[in-house]
Amino acid sequence: MTNTADRSPAAAFVQRPGSTKTLLKGDDGGVVRRTVLPGGLRIVTEAMPGVRSATFGIWVGVGSRDETPALAGATHYLEHLLFKGTAKRDALEISAALDAVGGEMNAFTAKEYTCYYARVLDTDLPLAIDVVSDMVTASLIRAEDVESERGVVLEEIAMNEDDPGDLVHELFAAALLGDMPLGRPVLGTVDSVNALTRPQIAGYYRRRYRPPNMVVTAAGNVDHGKVVRLVKNAFADVPVDADATPTPPRGGVRTVRGGGNIRVLERPTEQAHLILGMPGVSRADDRRFALAVLNAALGGGMSSRLFQEIREKRGLAYSVYSYTSGHADLGMFGVYAGCLPGKVHEVLRIVRGELDKVVADGITEEELRRAIGQLHGSLVLGLEDSGSRMSRIGKSELVHGEHLSVDDQLAIIAAVTGEQVREVARDVLGSRPTLALVGPFPDPDAFAAAVS
């Protein structure tokens, strides 16, 4: 698929309301189009010839980082509540409508956005659009639902607390970012969720769930014009400001606390879970592609350095990998390992050693070639169904503010050089690391050498 339109981040915000623009067009007949409605609502579709499914989604530009401390967990709590009922349907009718046609419906809350989606047969797309749009735009947020769902959210927090593999990631974010919103858990805490009231959540809903801050997406066997007509009808009763324009992708100033922090959560676990990491790059940083290549070579697969050194050669851990995540203003890079408590110091020593080697020498030409191939394959294979395509165009529009074709991305990744990888390794991995650790460890100072 080749790009036939302006990829400027501002392109969506200068498009005339009521107009439709072709963003991407491929030789296989696939087309990505965008319509901007009066009031700022964006509708983006991707036609996928040859499939019989369709996935519909509504993306809202609000996540846990938008919460004040008093509202911690409100975004995720609200996600739950939108399934509880509208004036047209109660909770059972919402779920039964999609179950009756074999569809799937769900939602998720992230740090910078929330998404509600349904995957159905192409013939049932009108139903999916009606049901999902109704629950997102016309939820009642009743007091009794707030109280009944509070227990469900608290159970989800408890489940997360019982999984040290998940908990260590939250611990790392808190250690690296401190008390800034990105460093707090998406779910909130037991205390913050217990303190949330119906007026707080309903007010948050009214302020944040507005058309300029939403992107409607559909991918699969879809017709753009038909989707636009169905969405217009589904949003007919939503109040709009006719002069409003789409909200631009969020920006921000990079603020990350200094390295050397150690956060240990003492738990009587049979396995220790650790993350050693440092600030990465934002999702708008041009270096993100070189960092992705570095990440693939260092800990992205079974042939990666960390997997080979820690698992294959020494048998010190079952699971070991590196990862990178990017937000509007900053990013994170981390190395995770799960190992026996008595092996933690040795694992940390090897991880630090491999990071230092990459900073000093970069990666080999063979590692570069293999990492690029791995990224190419995962990118293409990850876009084989309508759900992944819906997610891709939703994030491109709401989060990135531009639409890169698959071929564009493949070409950018293929153009990454060994020198670019060395430079980003020095910039990112050369900083002092932060350590998060969950396991039977009473003394955080015992791990000072790992972050020195």
- How would you write the pLDDT of the chain (452 residues) with one tens digit per residue? 444 334 443 455 678 999 999 999 987 778 999 999 999 999 999 999 889 999 999 999 999 999 999 999 999 999 999 999 999 999 999 999 999 999 999 999 999 999 999 999 999 999 999 999 999 999 999 999 999 999 999 999 999 999 999 999 999 999 999 888 999 999 999 999 999 999 999 999 999 999 999 999 999 999 999 999 999 999 999 999 988 999 999 876 666 667 899 999 999 999 999 999 999 999 999 999 999 999 999 999 999 999 999 999 999 999 999 999 999 999 999 999 999 999 999 999 999 999 999 999 999 999 999 999 999 999 999 998 999 999 999 999 999 999 999 999 999 999 999 999 999 999 999 999 999 999 999 999 999 999 99
Token representation of residue 125: 């797309």
State the greatest distance between any 2 C-alpha atoms of the chain, in Å, as a whole number.
64
Token representation of residue 124: 């049932």
φ/ψ of 131, rounded to 5, equals: -70, -50
CA–CA distance, 70 with 190 (Å, rounded to integer): 12
Token representation of residue 165: 């593999």
Token representation of residue 103: 């569809």
Token representation of residue 180: 């800034």
Q: What is the pTM of this model?
A: 0.94
Q: Sign of the CA dihedral 438, 440, 444, 445?
A: negative
The reported pLDDT for the residue numbered 436 is 98
Q: What residue has token string 């791995």?
A: 374
Q: Sign of the CA dihedral 88, 91, 93, 96?
A: positive
Give the DSSP letter of residue 328: S
φ/ψ of 361, rounded to 5, equals: -125, -5
Q: Sign of the CA dihedral 214, 215, 218, 222?
A: positive
- Please list, in sequence order, all residues whose beta carbon lies within 8 angstroms of the beta carbon of residue 269, skipping any fewer than 6 positions away: 164, 341, 438, 439, 440
Is 79 assigned a catalytic role? yes
Catalytic residue among 79, 149, 170, 397: 79
